[in-house]
Structure 1
Amino acid sequence: MIDDEVASRDLAVLAVPLVGSLEETGDRWLPFRLVDPAGEPVEAVSSYFRDLQAAGRSETTLRSYGMDLLRWFRFLWSVDVPWKQATRVEARDFCRWMLVAGKPSRPHWRHPDGAGSSPFVGRAYAPSVRAHCETVLRGFYGFHLDAGSGPLVNPFPLDRSRRGGRAHAHHNPMERHRNERTGLYRPVVPTRIPRSVPDEEFNEIFARLPSHRDRALVSFYVSTGARASELLSVTQAGVDPGRRLITVVRKGSRAEQELPASTDAFVWLRLYQAEIDESVPRERRQPLWWTMRRPFRPLTYHAVHRMFERAADAAGSMATLHALRHTAAYRMAEDPELPLTDVQFVLGHALLTTTQIYLTPRKEDVIRRVLAHHADQTRRAAQRASAPPAPGYRAETLAVLFGGAAR
């Protein structure tokens, strides 16, 4: 039986304060911890993080999972329900709240009074964000269910129609396999075409980059297809201009991999290295990318993201830093001399089906070809209309029948 008071919870008037936080500890054994409104760490989340670390998950994964858990715990704190007593009702209301209430207003450090609020406030969370959050919370409660430290029933169950029976029992062999272990409240994530940057737009952004360091970074991004964090992992010993290779640390496996890059990227890199201050450490194991201002520090993802964002804004573009990876992938996939398996290796995809999405035509290319098709059709129609009449027909008679001046 569901309590009538709980079942009739009015989410329209529910306020979810931005209390608690996910803190970076600096401790290698527990890089992040979730703290409650009183500033006390939530041990249930810490133990889950330790389990994830034992499974080989990276620190970025722990942070990503922690943000989803923080969102869930804030909801539970607002409805005054302990995490151990959460039921399917709370899970259902939480998923509805993410869908309807949308993103909360967060004060920006430059505008504490809220004058610079984000235009995305109140907009529903993206299906990919809601799906990721549902998966994380189902895993969190599954961990505590196995350990006997949580509720007896997972608040985020699997879909009723997919809990039993043989996997893929009714699968159409002409269609791709789908995940049989889909959560009950997991939204359908639409398939999106990767957003790449057209050549003209890329040239406009590149022309507005302020330094040789930024030009080298962007050149490596668009020629290697490396993720933002992967390119920042390059050390000074990981650059081989003679072979035109750089060595990055892969995001998921943490394995080192050599990636080929364009000649232009190494030219910009050499110009950047020539202007580096002498106080910047020059050792083989030191990072390759550094800040331009004192005190010199290794370049971070957020700094590079903001750098590219400023250049894109100056060029009037909505392109993102991650779009450079898609741009590199499209450029390589369009080369008939480059096998798709080579593109898969360079991008670090585990499955070839993931790389195949870059065979999907880009929107701007489709529009250009269709417009050219329409222009060609118009040109052909004009040629047919201007063709002289066939022998044996009188021009003045055709002019009376079809209109127009006699030919």
Structure 2
Amino acid sequence: MENVKNFLNLFVEYLQIEKNYSQYTIVNYVRDIEDLLAFMTEEGITEISEVTYQDTRLFLTGLHTKNYSRKYISRKISSLRSFFKFLVREKYTEENPFALASLPKKEQRIPSFFYESDIDALFSASDTSTPAGKRNQALLEVLYATGIRVSECCQLKISDVDLSTDILLVTGKGNKQRYVPFGSYANAALQEYLSAGRAELEKKSSARNEFLFLNAKGTPLTERGVRYILDKMITQTSTIFHIHPHMFRHTFATHLLNEGADLRSVQELLGHAHLSSTQVYTHVSKEQLRKTYMSHHPRA
């Protein structure tokens, strides 16, 4: 099994250097591959080249019997398929036993999103007389105005914000960059935060940095920090009981489509590589149209 562990180390280097994947993504890949290694040990398989298609079916059957979700199993298959594809490319093995493994059909879940009244309640929850309140207001406005991922928001630097043209330079998955516009409300909140809030937060730390959003200690705000801020703001509203940061992205896409934006434009704004990822939001729009029809048509 020593060779297999060496292969895993080489694969991690490939993901870091060639694919430029985030540490979070790489950790998931490693976890999935380590599960296969544990299976190989149980089955007495010592070489990676000995893994057959029949072994993969046995491995996946074990996952199904443990009642793992289809999404979880699909991720395992994708990770291991990529791992063996790399090994075949590097000539460490001749075949990819996961090449024929079929992905379970995805559960069709409609993304949760905010109604406009919910958004208004959140926007009125910030105490904008404090530096942290100014930051929170700017954070909310940017997330809703742009639909960027929370991870992308946390990576924004001051130089990525152009207040004269209302454009953000966003670095997304795979280090791909895109320009995303924002509106007057986000512009006003950002100007207020940058002129009177961020400098006060930065004083809390001896180190200086160029990240746009800072936490109470003056260091870059993290995804966990964003969740904490939102949870704290929820306690100050009475209309929203459970939210997660990604809901702003869902809301951004849903509201655009509800107002008539075309799917391709929304895809580009969200930074989706495939249109199918954006199409999930059409289900939300259709449901909204159905409710409107049922409420207003005389013979509904």
TM-score past 0.5 threshold: yes
Alpha carbon RMSD of aligned pairs, Å? 3.5
Which of 285, 288, 291 pairs up with 1:365? 288
Structure 1 gap segments, 5+ residues each? 1-35, 103-123, 159-182, 379-407
| Structure 1 position 330 matched with structure 2 position 254 | yes
**Which residue does 2:268 correspond to in 1?**
345
Letter in 1 for 2:211: P
Which of 89, 92, 100 pairs up with 2:65? 100
**Which residue does 2:90 correspond to in 1?**
147
CA contact (8 A) 2:254 2:284 kept: no
Q: Distance in 1 between matches of 2:85 and 2:291?
A: 50
Which of 303, 307, 323 pairs up with 2:229? 307
In the TM superposition, what are the counterparts of 1:160-199 in structure 2 within 5 Å? 183-184=101-102, 186-199=103-116
Q: Distance in 1 between matches of 2:207 and 2:167?
A: 19
**Which residue does 1:275 correspond to in 2?**
197
| Structure 1 position 234 matched with structure 2 position 177 | no
Q: Distance in 2 between matches of 1:223 and 1:231?
A: 12
Deviation at 1:304, TM superposition (A): 1.7
**Which residue does 2:56 correspond to in 1?**
91
Q: Distance in 1 between matches of 2:43 and 2:244?
A: 37
Letter in 1 for 2:191: R
Q: Distance in 1 between matches of 2:177 and 2:272?
A: 14
In the TM superposition, what are the counterparts of 1:25-64 in structure 2 within 5 Å? 42-60=5-23, 61-64=25-28
CA contact (8 A) 2:156 2:212 kept: yes
Q: Distance in 2 between matches of 1:148 and 1:55?
A: 17
CA contact (8 A) 1:73 1:83 kept: no
Which of 142, 156, 165 pairs up with 1:243? 165
Which of 177, 191, 213 pairs up with 1:289? 213
Q: Distance in 2 between matches of 1:221 and 1:205?
A: 12
Deviation at 1:228, TM superposition (A): 1.4
Identity in percent:
23
Q: Distance in 2 between matches of 1:80 and 1:214?
A: 55
Q: Distance in 1 between matches of 2:231 and 2:43?
A: 38
| Structure 1 position 132 matched with structure 2 position 75 | yes
Deviation at 1:143, TM superposition (A): 2.3
CA contact (8 A) 1:333 1:359 kept: yes
In the TM superposition, what are the counterparts of 1:113-132 in structure 2 within 5 Å? 124-125=68-69, 127-132=70-75
**Which residue does 1:173 correspond to in 2?**
none
Letter in 2 for 1:289: F
CA contact (8 A) 2:167 2:182 kept: yes
Q: Distance in 2 between matches of 1:93 and 1:239?
A: 51
TM-score, normalization: structure 2? 0.78
Going from structure 1 to structure 2, the CA distance change for 1:222 and 1:187 (only over 3 Å counts) comes to: same
Which of 318, 322, 342 pairs up with 2:242? 318
Going from structure 1 to structure 2, the CA distance change for 1:240 and 1:310 (only over 3 Å counts) comes to: same
Deviation at 1:47, TM superposition (A): 0.7
Deviation at 1:365, TM superposition (A): 2.0
| Structure 1 position 223 matched with structure 2 position 109 | no
Q: Is the partner of 1:56 in helix, strand or coil?
A: coil
Letter in 1 for 2:255: R
TM-score, normalization: structure 1? 0.59
Deviation at 1:255, TM superposition (A): 3.6
Q: Which moved more, 1:232-241 or 1:360-369?
A: 360-369
Which of 34, 52, 64 pairs up with 1:70? 34
CA contact (8 A) 2:33 2:79 kept: yes
Q: Distance in 2 between matches of 1:78 and 1:209?
A: 55
Deviation at 1:67, TM superposition (A): 3.3
Letter in 2 for 1:156: F
Deviation at 1:259, TM superposition (A): 1.6
Which of 168, 180, 186 pairs up with 1:259? 180
Which of 136, 139, 143 pairs up with 1:214? 136
Between 1 and 2, higher relative CO (CA 8 Å, sep ≥ 6) is seen in 2
Deviation at 1:153, TM superposition (A): 4.6
From the CA coordinates, give the structure whose radius of gyration is larger. 1
